[in-house]
A and B are shown apart, each in its own frame.
Chain A
């Protein structure tokens, strides 16, 4: 039986999600953003949220997220996505509002907005891409950059005495009474992707059921910033990032 026969007579087990539009993304080859966008688009369709979803895009690599996923979007100022989402959701409780933020956006410039939206228990989903570097601006140090990790602004490696320590935002957010679900996922293997999608589904279910704030951190790669091939970046992430940012649920109530 040839591939043509299988394509003709077999069943489709996977196809490009309907809500991911035709535009090619600006992301570098192998970037984790693409995978997270893909499962997000799949879920929004599978959960029937096309008409209800309002996404809030950050400043950073995902600044153009609104170009790729076919729902309504609001582009926020750097770090302010949780504040934007707070009002969008409170004023439109029948909608489902999510933010999509990187580590600089969520864990540096927007720390106050992130913590307070979560502390108020806003019924939103926060999608947090933690790749330990500033990708969009060319590979500078992030709040989540590992000790010793070289970036454009820590060219000899991050030093605790100068730059402080990598911040574990999900751990902080899990401490807050307003969060109902905080989980740390990755998308570097097929199994991890399936698990991450399930976690993201739980987060959206929480938002719909108004259980409080859900945070899904994706420990991610930035192969351009890390100066590695996509495959090597996945290996580096598994070998180095997961120790500081272990995968799994931090809170689920």
Chain B
């Protein structure tokens, strides 16, 4: 059966850690860094659970800072 897999690249320097992508992700891929911050002091988003990504781009849809590049592949 065909399976859809996805992956995201996050522009972590651009991210303001607003958390909206974390809330929007239907498969709980994303988290905010609990301690680490980027150059501007934000706890940026990262893929805590990358294997769960389905490439739906929900994160990219709600991101106010256009930090996401989203990839998708269909596997057998």
By a beta-carbon cutoff of 8 Å, the part of chain A in contact with chain B is 1-7, 9-17, 20, 24-25, 27-35, 37-38, 41, 187-190, 193-194, 229-231, 234
Contact = CB atoms under 8 A, between A and B. Distances in A.
Contacts, number: 114
Contacts of B56: 190
B63 A38 contact: yes
Interface string B30-46: 00000000001010000
Contact of A30 (B18, B60, B69): B18
Nearest to B23: A231
B73 A10 contact: yes
B64 A1 contact: no
A238 B23 CA distance: 15
Contact of B65 (A1, A32, A34, A41): A34
Instruction: For chain B, give the interface size range.
Output: 35 or more
25 contacts: A1-B73, A1-B75, A3-B7, A3-B51, A4-B7, A6-B55, A10-B7, A11-B71, A11-B73, A12-B70, A13-B57, A25-B64, A28-B16, A29-B42, A30-B19, A31-B64, A34-B64, A34-B66, A35-B62, A38-B63, A38-B66, A190-B61, A193-B62, A194-B61, A229-B19
Interface of B: 5-9, 11, 14, 16-20, 23-24, 40, 42, 47, 50-51, 53, 55-58, 60-73, 75
A187 B60 CA distance: 12
B72 A190 contact: no
Given A10-B55, A231-B19, A1 B5 contact: yes
